[in-house]
Amino acid sequence: MTNVVLITGATSGFGQAAAYRFAKAGWSVIITGRRLERLQKLAQELGEFGPVHYVQLDVRDATAVAKAIESLPEAFQPIHSLINNAGLALSPLSAQDVALEDWHTMIDTNVTGLVNVTHYVLPQLLKADKGASIINVGSIAGQWPYPGSHVYGASKAFVKQFSYNLRCDLLGTGIRVTDLAPGIAETEFTLVRTKGDQAASDKLYQGTTALSADDIAEQMFYIATLPAHICINRVEVMPTRQAWSAFAIDRD
């Protein structure tokens, strides 16, 4: 029996790279996301490597998440690894200039969506063989403050603490939980954050070496395939060309 991984947000970036990484290694892959055409194209491409099941899914919709898990084909059960990757940042403006709607969208996706999927997938993971895992995609923004991070960073701090708390409750079940916290990585993330500003996105990644989606997919695969007795609680990974900065001081 092959292992099954469910990846949220597989239509782009880390999620898409992870889908390839696991499929190429012989896992059965469940890919989800909102953009149907991308899912269909990806499913076709991944089909070359092994079994693929796709579900058009908005993680914010708890009823839809429940239905997606209930209606999984037998061959894609039980789920052995869950990658809670779907997420986004919006509005890199100062808090006082951000639309409330953008804050709600981040909370609904990064917090409520992640909780929705975890809730409905947990019974599957409990049925899986040894070495089941949940990989929650957090961020360095969940640990370190910076201007324009406001609700985004706070939502990723939730991901970190929720991951740790899950570890406590799941002790004895064999399910591992990891908060995987990347630094700057070149995906569609900044395009989404700036609401389609390609120039701003290009500028951010220009002249440096950001992490790639494949770098993070590799981390995911490593975490999910460690021997069953090892759990990595948190991984914070930055590109070598990123580091912290000095405290900001307001002066006269």
Q: Using CB under 6 A as the criterion, which residues of the chain lie in contact with ligand NDP when the complex forms?
A: 8-15, 33-35, 57-60, 85-88, 109, 113, 137, 139, 182, 184-185, 187-189, 192
Tokens encoding 213: 């989606």
Q: If we measure between CA atoms, which residue out of 64, 227, 247 comes closest to residue 144?
A: 247
The residue (of 68 and 141) whose beta carbon lies closer to ligand 8X3 is 141
Q: Coil, helix or strand for 126?
A: helix
* Residue (of 127, 131, 156) closest to 234 by Cα position: 156
Which CB sits closer to ligand NDP, 188 or 214? 188
Distances (CA, A) of 73 to 28, 40, 51, 68, 78: 12, 17, 11, 10, 10
Strands (E), 96-142: 133-137
Does the active-site annotation cover 146?
no
Closer residue to ligand 8X3, CB minimum distance, 68 or 111? 111
| Shortest distance (Å) from residue 200 CB to ligand NDP | 14
Question: Considering 20, 54, 146, 152, which one is annotated as catalytic?
Answer: 152
- Which of ligand 8X3, ligand NDP, none interacts with 131 (beta carbon under 5 to 8 A by kind)? none
170: tokens are 């799941």
Q: What's the closest the beta carbon of residue 178 comes to ligand NDP, in angstroms?
A: 13
Q: Which residue is nearest to ligand NDP (CB)?
A: 13
Catalytic site positions: 152
